Chain A
């Protein structure tokens, strides 16, 4: 055999000791917050038809999945996301249930390659929730509030995290006004995504007036609070974008009334996942992580793939990215030691030994069986 068995595939890892405990604690924290907002846990299949993800996530994202074939030759994939499968369940299994549906999950997802070189993992755990069959500002605010509560419960310092908000309809309105074809639209999306204002102005030259170009180039670099909304209104006037700005402003007012504006930024340059999201999008950044640790948004078109169009919104946290940051930080969640000491039990008579041990376990005390002799590794 040429490859030593000690090798681990690229992008895979073990969790043990403090990190494993921390990871469990973060997961439990998030799941208890979901439960607190009346979200019901759902476990989806780890393996599913590739076609599900192709329709659910869009071809570009689904292509990142690990693929293999079923006995009948159909293409399968190790799930690269959970949302696709949840959306299918909503349209099929839960078709008859009262709306809205509130579902949550914690499950590993697999992708062959990340968006960025810094996302080196090929297995990561998504903790997320989906609110299906609810529309409007209330539904949007509900999931945003849940995301904030999870971060607050992780006891992160106030300036250590930030949730950025945008609405994809702002970009869509501009693209529609410029009457761009698909490839031009994708090129514009990339320029906006990388905040390349200068190139964007060049790109827009044949499509828009000088003022319009300068305005839009300025918009994509705008990031901030309330004042950015006012500025965006001066720069963008097409009705589709304006409607989106109105929604965003309404949401902002709620955030403001809850005194949560310190945790939020409006970011008009966030245009990833455009063919997936249909309204509000948000991304979660944590100090100490070079890439985002979570994100989500409204995806009203997704469930129509499964024969039942309805509004939906949701988000995920990347458990592993969160754990990495917390493990390196000095937050109390990370510093908390496993509590309680334990006295090793030993007895030459196994019956007595285990009588004692099970009695202690009945009282929920921690036990440690001390073996007579530790067995040495035989090599």
Chain B
């Protein structure tokens, strides 16, 4: 029986998350990783990793199937999951922004703004706080296309370098928030496996600090 089950997001964050864990002394065998299995143990057998789609990380952790997980703040905000987030891992840095081909029209629009996004909750909260009525057009990918083709006035999306935006003639209207990957922990696991979880948080936190000051 592993002491802790950790949910990791497949894709963009996976390698950086594994590197962070390796710094904290939790290592996975390369061959096991290459095997495409969805659940593997670390070298000591104390931890088990499950690899799931990023949006599913909060789901596994909230239900206590995984004790901990690594997930971007963007995904976390959108999921509205009731989780502990004791550590900013400072990887996968990006911004959640409002972008449009015509920024000035977005800022001066007091009617009904059409917003295309993969993040309906974040978008609704952001414009809701400004008292702006919006129509949310939920898409699952290539969000940048929506305003170009006239489906929406603007988009709410995650931006790393800004290249995709530029290539589609979109510019940033405003930054909603910064996002980095967080360590998230199930509320029950945080208490029931207090020592193991605290040790992991400390070891990961040490790695983050060393890198920040390096």
Contacts and interface: CB of A to CB of B under 8 A. Distances in A.
B188 interface: yes
B11 to A, nearest CB: 22
Given A116-B82, A198-B88, A221 B186 contact: no
B188 A194 contact: no
A195 B86 contact: yes
A265 B194 contact: yes
A223 interface: yes
Interface in B51-97: 59, 62-65, 81-88
A164 B189 CA distance: 12
A303 B151 CA distance: 56
B201 interface: yes
B84 A194 contact: yes
B190 interface: yes
A289 interface: yes
A161 B191 CA distance: 9
Contact of A117 (B59, B87, B191): B59
B175 to A, nearest CB: 16
Contact of A290 (B65, B87, B198): B65
Contacts of A197: 86-87
B188 A285 contact: yes
A285 B194 contact: no
**Contact residue range for chain B?**
20 to 34
B192 interface: yes
A261 to B, nearest CB: 13
B102 interface: no
Nearest to A293: B188
B85 A117 contact: no
B192 to A, nearest CB: 5
Contact of A292 (B59, B84, B85, B187): B187
Nearest to A120: B63
Contacts of A221: 86, 198, 201
B191 A164 contact: yes
Contacts of B81: 116-117
Nearest to A287: B192
Contacts of A115: 82
Interface of A: 115-118, 159-162, 164, 194-199, 221, 223-224, 265, 267, 269, 283, 285-292
